[in-house]
Amino acid sequence: MISVKLPVIPDEKDQKWKILGEIVNKLETRETKKALARYKITPVNKAVIFLKIIVLALFFSLEISAVGEVNNRYELRKFLRIDERIKLRSIYNFMSKFEAEQFVKFIFNS
């Protein structure tokens, strides 16, 4: 079977992209950043960027390596409000730094 990778192109009219946009907005709030710090998910600003990419991957059933897509597509970086290029290794390092319980507490208690 041949697998075709379709480009991830933001479409703000699409319901999935609208929901993702709301999540991106929520991730950037002061409240969310305080919760990240409270649960020691740091550095907070990097954590927000990495979480945006992780949520994007979850939403569209992509591998975390979709960071390459984010780095290469201006429209996607603009939608996610990410200015800098992200290294895949940085995301994996971020994910490995904290316990699953820590992340679950952040999600359900913030």
Is the whole-model pTM more than 0.75?
A: yes
pLDDT of residue 5: 58
* Helix segments in the chain, DSSP class H: 15-27, 30-38, 44-59, 67-72, 74-80, 88-97, 100-109
Task: Report the pLDDT averaged over residues 10-29.
Answer: 92
Mean pLDDT score, 84-110: 81
pLDDT at residue number 2: 46
pLDDT band at 110 (very low <50, low <70, confident <90, very high): low
Measured CA angle at 16 (ends 104, 108), to 5 deg? 15
Residue in this structure with the two tokens 């995301």, named with its chain if needed: 91
For residue 99, pLDDT over 70 is answered with yes
Q: What is the mean pLDDT of residues 1-10?
A: 61
- pLDDT bracket for residue 1 (50, 70, 90): very low
pLDDT score at 19: 93
